[in-house]
Amino acid sequence: MKVRATSSPGDDRRSAILSRLRTADHGTPVSAAALADAHGVSRQIIVGDIALLRSAGHPIDATPRGYVLRRTETGGGHLMTLICRHTAEQMVDELNTLVDCGCTVLDVAVEHPVYGTLTGELRLSSRWDVQVFAEKVAAADALPLSALTEGVHVHAILAPTEAQAEAARRAMEEKGYLWK
């Protein structure tokens, strides 16, 4: 007698979620609400599914706009780290400067004297992304992470080409946003 392994509706849903994240256009975040609607379950079920997928080793990041599957390769792009310093009021201009050069701002990190490195996922690729992020910061009456370190912070940037990465670095230097 042969025993066939069957999958549960939860297993099927998690497989579909993983597939959706893999095929998202250019790593575009997918919200928990959109996933919940697509599968006819609550947002909380999706949050649990994401936790189970993460515990199974899938590199899923939560961003302000939803979940993304972390790419382990740059897809031919150029990964760069910039150490920056500016005021909270200059944050939107800094981010727009980077996305205007064709870059994706992957994250922001600060080095805290007590907690060590604190990192926030951003995944900002356009002025629209920057605007949505800035609106969320304002609505939450939140300060940027860099407020903890007198404006000093680090961005991981992904540029399609080395020339665009260099253009972004030059633009940031010209505006005085690079920490010296």
Q: What CATH number does the domain containing 149 carry?
A: 3.30.1340.20
Residue 157 pLDDT exceeds 50 = yes
Q: Is residue 88 part of a domain?
A: yes
Helix (H, G, I), strand (E, B) or coil at 157: strand
Q: Are residues 86 and 138 in the same domain?
A: yes
Q: Are residues 62 and 87 in the same domain?
A: no
Q: Is residue 161 part of a domain?
A: yes
Q: Is residue 179 part of a domain?
A: no
> What is the per-residue pLDDT across 58-87, written as a single tens digit (0 to 9) for each?
878 887 788 887 765 445 578 888 999 998
Q: Are residues 137 and 169 in the same domain?
A: yes
What is the structure's pLDDT at 53? 87
What is the structure's pLDDT at 3? 47
Go through the chain and tell me how many residues it has. Answer: 180
Assign residue 60 the CATH number of its domain. Answer: 1.10.10.10
Q: What percent of the chain has pLDDT over 90?
A: 40
Q: Are residues 85 and 157 in the same domain?
A: yes
Q: What is the mean pLDDT of residues 12-18?
A: 90
User: Could you please report the per-residue DSSP string of 94-131?
Assistant: HHHHHHHTT-EEEEEEEEETTTEEEEEEEEE-SHHHHH
Q: Is residue 83 part of a domain?
A: yes
Closest CA to 82 of 164, 171, 178: 178
Q: Are residues 52 and 83 in the same domain?
A: no
Q: Are residues 88 and 162 in the same domain?
A: yes
Q: Are residues 64 and 85 in the same domain?
A: no
What is the structure's pLDDT at 71? 63
pLDDT confidence band for 95 (50 / 70 / 90): very high
Q: Are residues 44 and 97 in the same domain?
A: no
Q: What percent of the chain has pLDDT over 70?
A: 91
Q: Are residues 133 and 167 in the same domain?
A: yes
Structural domain including 148 reads 78-174
Q: Are residues 42 and 127 in the same domain?
A: no
Domain count within the chain: 2
Q: Is residue 4 part of a domain?
A: no
What is the structure's pLDDT at 128? 95
Q: Which of 49-58, 72-81, 86-95 has the highest mean pLDDT?
A: 86-95
Q: Are residues 63 and 89 in the same domain?
A: no
Q: Rounded to whole angstroms, how far apart are CA atoms 62 and 10?
A: 20
Q: Is residue 3 part of a domain?
A: no
Compute the CA torsion angle 43, 46, 48, 50 (nearest 10 deg): -140
Q: Are residues 141 and 60 in the same domain?
A: no
Closest CA to 158 of 125, 115, 127, 113: 125
